[in-house]
Chain A
Amino acid sequence: MLSKLMNLDRRVIFIFVALAVIIPTLLPLNLPINVSEPTQRIYDYIDALPAGSTIMISFDYGPSSLPELNPMAKAVLRHCFDKDVRVIGMTLYAFAPTLADTLITEVAEEADAVNGEDYVFLGFRPGGEQVMLRMGISIGSVFEKDYTNTPLTEISMMKDITNYDQIDLILDLASGSTTDLWITYVNGKYNQQIAAGVTGVIVSNMYPYLQTKQLVGLMPGYLGASEYEKLIGVPEKGTQGINNASPVHVLILGLVIIGNIVFFIQRRREE
């Protein structure tokens, strides 16, 4: 029995994982979602901003991280438009502009937000930290035009925005190391408030910044997206995702425990 378990065909595990995802997709679960403090802190920060404030969202992810980060972006955009908080979108990731522009336009249409007045998408600039530092002096010197090629000087919401001084929060939605750069260069040098929504893969690296308050708040993967959706009262892909993920997590946890028990028993027998 033990040797059978130790030599179990990995494809059997794949079938179990597939079933653990397919069944909840067909028969949705409604598991309770408890909002964690880091997500709540982002929500509270944006919720406390007066109408007419500005937040900058940096869409630093590509299609491979879209399942986790798009629901977050959608939820935050909805919250901002609902509160009349203006949004400046941008990206430091070359594969992101189309994806980000589509998402902003979709949410803006839902919320009747007007391009150039309630939001603007600046597009992509290469350079990472150099772009960040330069925007501290002048956003217009980095992005002379927005994504639709309209000069920034002709965009009404950009008329009173020169640099970070007029931006109340930067939210970095990231699948890579850009959050570290925003913290290092923009929080460190310009004392700008930074929040982050990141993929599960890199979230562990972000917790030290939360503890030191270098991050206002943090949304971790599907969990963060589902929590923010709960806070704004619009359960969508994030909520569906975390409900579907929970059975797989339980399955993987069970497999890890069984694997360890079998391993230790077998080792004891060999001794």
Chain B
Amino acid sequence: MEIFGIWIAAFLTLCIYSFLYKDNPFYRFAEHLFVGMSVGYGIVLSVHQGFIPFAWEPFWAAVKPFWPGVPREAGWSGLWKLIPIGVGLLFFSGVSPRHTWLIRYPTAILIGFGAGLSIPNVLRANIFEQTRGTVEPFASVHAGTLSGWGIFEAVLMVAGVICTLTYFFFSVEHRGPLKWISKVGIAFLMIGFGSAFGNTVMGRVALLIQRVDFLINDWIGTIF
């Protein structure tokens, strides 16, 4: 059975790579199969790991005591769980043009909750901490504990931040010194993009290497 699985995986891998030569029915078959299976798998996962434990089970637990023939032991205490479920269901009001306005309530709760949760934390982690990290080395410069290379790094960091921010400062026309500062900012941005591109290539090559390793060692290994 395992060998059967390896052969299917190898066949589909070759189907996908056949696109590198040109578009063909084998590629389209594998592509459609992949999309269909991913969507199907995603739906099953969402139902089993999201809908059932977090919507259906709390709902059933809440209404079960009121079901005919079920002893009313739990009472009313579980009913509060119907409130978030009901608010969530309002998202579906969009399907009826007459009731579409109801969608504003869950949207407002979601945005309010999200903004309240993220604004202070994001400000702290991405603005304050990063600003501290940029200027903090200068405390070591002042204390005389930073090496020559460390001082160069600290100055370069601040210069990079100022030049890059200047490039995105559109309230004043970029002329004279501002033009040159923003040009240096572009250079810093290009270095950043180059680094990101290089790392992306490394990531994509890793996928190819894994597939080639699978084809040579696992698949061809079952033949010889």
Residues of A within 8 A of B (CB): 11, 14, 17-18, 21-22, 25-26, 64, 66-68, 94-95, 124, 126, 129-130, 133, 183-185, 187-189, 199-201, 203-205, 208, 211-214, 220-223, 237, 240-241, 244-245, 248-249, 252
Contact = CB atoms under 8 A, between A and B. Distances in A.
B45 A223 contact: no
B45 A212 contact: no
A245 B205 contact: yes
B125 A222 contact: no
Interface in B171-224: 192, 195-196, 199-210, 212-213, 216-217
Contacts of A126: 49-50, 54
A221 B203 CA distance: 7
B201 A249 contact: yes
A241 B206 contact: yes
A14 B19 CA distance: 11
Contacts of B133: 208, 211-213
Interface of B: 20-21, 41-42, 45-46, 49-50, 54, 117-118, 121-122, 124-126, 129-130, 132-133, 157, 192, 195-196, 199-210, 212-213, 216-217
Contacts of A22: 212, 216
Contacts of B195: 204
Interface of chain B, main secondary structure:
helix
A61 B205 CA distance: 17
Given A17-B208, A184-B126, A241-B210, A200 B46 contact: no
Contact of A188 (B42, B54, B124, B132): B124
Q: Which 5 A/B pairs are nearest by Cβ-Cβ distance?
A: A212-B133, A200-B203, A67-B210, A200-B202, A204-B196
B206 A222 contact: yes
Contact of B216 (A26, A66, A201, A245): A26
Given A95-B45, A124-B49, A25 B210 contact: no
Contacts of B196: 204-205
B46 A94 contact: yes
B213 A214 contact: no
Contacts of A213: 133
A129 to B, nearest CB: 7
B125 A188 contact: yes
B212 A21 contact: yes
A91 B216 CA distance: 31
A200 B200 contact: yes
A107 B163 CA distance: 48
A26 B157 CA distance: 44
A129 B117 contact: yes
A196 to B, nearest CB: 14
A120 to B, nearest CB: 18
Given A94-B49, A129-B118, A189-B121, A25 B212 contact: yes
B129 A67 contact: no
A248 B204 CA distance: 11
Nearest to B201: A252
Given A64-B207, A201-B204, 8 more contacts: A17-B208, A185-B121, A188-B124, A188-B129, A208-B130, A221-B202, A241-B213, A245-B205
A14 B204 CA distance: 14
A189 B125 CA distance: 9
B205 A94 contact: no
Contact of B208 (A21, A220, A221): A21
Contacts of B157: 211
Contacts of B199: 200-201, 203-204, 220-221
Nearest to B196: A204
Contacts of B129: 188, 212, 214
